[in-house]
Amino acid sequence: MRLNVRDGALIFTGIGYRWDFGPYTVFLPSWLILGNAVIEERALSDDEFFVDFKMEHPLLGRTFAYSGKFRIVEVVDGDYEPSSKVKIRTA
C-alpha cells in the first residue's frame, strides 16, 4: 500500500497484491482480484478515529466497503463491556 497524508488524514492506497508460494513471489495488479483499495483514517480525538475503506473493481464496481467511528479502549484482565451504542447497518 502507498501512504499519503491529506488534510490531516492518513490515506492508504492499494498498489497490488503479493502472493508468496514458498520461494516464489507473484505480484498481481489490484484490478485482477477484488479491485483497488483506498483507506482513509482520521483522528477525531485522543481516543476516537474514523475509518473509510472502499474497494472498487473496474468491471464489477464496489466489491467491499465499510466506514465508521472507532474508540480506543484499554482492556485490563479481560474486563470489557461493549458499548450499547454499537450500530450495525446493512445495505
The continuous run of DSSP H or E covering 42 comes out as strand 36-43
Q: What is the number of residues in the chain?
A: 91
* pLDDT number for residue 34: 85
CA distances from 28 to 7, 13, 18, 33, 46 (A): 31, 15, 6, 8, 38
Read off the pLDDT of each residue in 11-23 and give the average, rounded to a whole number: 91
- Does the structure show a pLDDT above 50 at 54? yes
Q: Supply the mean pLDDT for the chain.
A: 86
CB-neighbour burial class of residue 55 (10 A; exposed 0-12, middle 13-18, buried 19+): buried
* pLDDT number for residue 91: 47
Asked if 35 contacts 63 with a C-beta cutoff of 8 angstroms, the reply is yes
**pTM, rounded to two decimals:** 0.72
